[in-house]
Amino acid sequence: MSGYFSSYAIVAVLIAIGVAIFAAGLLVSRLLRPDHPTREKLTTYECGVDPVGEGWAQSQIRYYVFTYLYVVFAVDAVFLFPWATVFAAPGFGLATLVEMFVFLAFIALGILYAWRKRVLAWT
């Protein structure tokens, strides 16, 4: 098989092999495990405490906001490392420095906005 689609065929074969290995592992574990369900084993387990009430609980939005802020800082860090390598290359010094300060200014504006909206307060 040669041509344009040969590289796609290799990827498809590797994906099929990966799925087969995964499915074989699940099948073998299902065949080897003991299976003796009882009423106690089928109840919901919550840190050693018997469950009381419904399984629905609301969580505050600030936890999601902290998650988004973490993603912003992670993206910031991901862009800072390649910037450090490009900054050292000849001919990119001043332009790269200005671009990074513009990028950091946008990040700082986002943090300032979150701080002014009192998103960063834990309680």
Termini Cα distance of the chain: 63
Give me the pLDDT at residue 15, please.
97
- Give one DSSP letter per residue of 52-99, joined into a string: -S-S-----HHHHHHHHHHHHHHHHHHHHHHHHHHHTSTT-HHHHHHH
Give me the pLDDT at residue 1, please.
55
pTM score above 0.95: no
Show me where the domains of the chain are located: 61-116
- As averages over each run of 10 residues, the pLDDT of the chain (123 residues) reads 77 96 97 88 71 72 78 79 74 77 86 82 65
Q: Distance between CA 31 and CA 71 in Å, rounded? A: 41
**3-class secondary-structure state, position 46:** strand
